[in-house]
Amino acid sequence: MAALQRENMLHDALEKQKQEANKLNESAIQYSILKRDLDSYRQLYEGLMEKMKEAGVSAGLKSNNFRIVDVARVPNSPIEPNIPGIWPSPSCSG
């Protein structure tokens, strides 16, 4: 009878250990999922912070996408209307 009780006790202890092992496995799986999410969110956050830094630097710089090619000059005569013989007339003194 004592051997049967001991066997039952060992069987119960074994079942408890199996349950604990299953809980640990489930916890390990959940931990892996959370760690992967953390890594993903961290990379996203770092990428966004880098973009914000770039935007701040770009906003701080003045855009000089132009340069002066020729110096502006005042025309000697009007450009429009271009009617030959009317403007400028050499006989007109003005």
Span 60-83, average pLDDT: 78
What pLDDT does residue 39 have? 97
Q: How far apart are CA 34 and CA 28, in angstroms?
A: 10
Structural contact between residues 77 and 87, judged by C-beta atoms closer than 8 angstroms: yes
Q: pLDDT tens digits, residue range 17-57?
A: 999 999 999 999 999 999 999 999 999 999 999 999 888 87
Residues in the chain: 94
Q: How confident is the model at residue 16 (pLDDT cuts 50, 70, 90)?
A: very high
pTM (two decimals): 0.48
What pLDDT does residue 28 have? 96
pLDDT: which is higher, 68 or 87: 68
